[in-house]
Each structure stands twice: as structure tokens, then as C-alpha cells.
Chains A and B, each alone.
Chain A
Amino acid sequence: AQTVTQSQPEMSVQEAETVTLSCTYDTSESDYYLFWYKQPPSRQMILVIRQEAYKQQNATENRFSVNFQKAAKSFSLKISDSQLGDAAMYFCAYENAGNMLTFGGGTRLMVKP
């Protein structure tokens, strides 16, 4: 079974600054997907960014980028130029070949004006 660990229950960042959220996972599979989801107070799960394990290039989506270290089984999310609207719970997730998603415990991100 896969496990996903987010070691930071809470993080805080100043508006316009950069913050990195950590995620590690454990798997014996070679083909999988990794995701970061954002969950604001509305509880809607919003996909932030997606990484295919077979791709060496780190995914980027505007202000969001990842540092994917496959050998280390590490998948961190970097948010640049943080905005107040980025405040939310962030979940790292692992998807296996069968489309089964396993979530980490979440990191609550606070953005200070």
C-alpha cells in the first residue's frame, strides 16, 4: 500500500513571498501520478498541479511549481508570489495505475497581508 506524508501541519507565508510545502511518499510502483490539491474553506477540492512519475521535468502551473525527486520519493510544492487567495489546506496525493488516490494529511497554509 502507498503512503503519503506531509510533515508540516501548518505553514505561514507573507504575501508576495515564496513558500514550499513538503511531501514524501512510499511506493514500490514505477508508474504513478502525483498531485497537489487545494481545499479552501468551501471544501471544494481544486487541482493545483500534476506530475507524471515518468517525466523528469518538474511540472509548473503559473505561480505553482514542484520539485519532484523520484529516487528520494519527494514531491514538494513551491508557491511563488503568494496571494491571500492561496490560503487553504493543501493535500499532496499519490495516484496509482488503477486511478486510486491516496492523500497526505494536509498542510494548512496561512498567508499574511
Chain B
Amino acid sequence: DAMVIQNPRYQVTQFGKPVTLSCSQTLNHNVMYWYQQKSSQAPKLLFHYYDKDFNNEADTPDNFQSRRPNTSFCFLDIRSPGLGDAAMYLCATSGTPGGYTNEKLFFGSGTQLSVL
């Protein structure tokens, strides 16, 4: 059973056209993450949420925004995608309901973004 679900699996957008990637989870985890992974590179953390507290990595471009309307859903908005934003975007969750523990991250299957 899928626990961290990312849709769509593949997303194509045009240069400069806003795009939103979605992630949902059935684990009731309080922490959600967005990672960017370019070809043949390690995943790079963009931001994460502790519940509704948003935490941005220092080097995440302003072009990237995120929303978490409730525990189950988290969105990644790219306001003006550039060619350099083409990558795999991985969503992950961790934690136990109501608390923060050092638990493993559960990853979704990712959304591969292409920018034309």
C-alpha cells in the first residue's frame, strides 16, 4: 500500500509557466520534506514542515514555494520554472503523530519534472 503518494509521476511544463507538484501521505506523520534530485546527484533538501511550521533551506531559491494545508498534503510550487529546475522532486515524511522522533524517512516515488 502506497504511503507517500506523489502525483503526477512525470510532469512537463514550459519555461516560466508555474507548476505545482503534489504529495500526500497516509502515515499521519508530522514532518514532510521536499527534495530536489538532479540527474546522477544526491537529493538536496529544499524545505520541510514540522506540522505547519515551514522551514526553508538557506540556499533554496525564492522561485520555490511550498504549502501544507493539512497533515496529509503538501505542495511544491515553482513560480517560474527554468531549464535548471528540471529534476526529480522527492517528497518524504517522518515522525510520529504528535511528536518528533528520530525515525526513518518514507519517500514517495517522485515526480520527474521536465521544462521545455
Interface locus among A11-19, A39-47, A70-78, A80-88: A39-47
Inter-chain contact B48/A100, CB cutoff 8 Å: yes
Inter-chain contact B104/A47, CB cutoff 8 Å: yes
Inter-chain contact B88/A43, CB cutoff 8 Å: yes
Cβ of B41 to closest chain A Cβ, rounded Å: 7
Inter-chain contact A33/B102, CB cutoff 8 Å: yes
Query: With the chains together, A103 CA to B38 CA distance in Å?
Result: 13
Query: For residue B81, which residues in chain A have a CB less than 8 angstroms away from its CB?
Result: none
Partner of A42, one of B94, B102, B109: B109
Inter-chain contact A91/B102, CB cutoff 8 Å: no
A45-56 contact mask (Cβ, 8 Å, vs B): 1 or 0: 111001010000
Query: For residue B31, which residues in chain A have a CB less than 8 angstroms away from its CB?
Result: 99
Inter-chain contact B102/A105, CB cutoff 8 Å: no
Inter-chain contact B95/A99, CB cutoff 8 Å: yes
Residues of B bordering A, CB below 8 Å:
31, 33, 37, 40-45, 48, 88, 90, 92, 94-95, 100, 102-105, 107, 109-110, 112
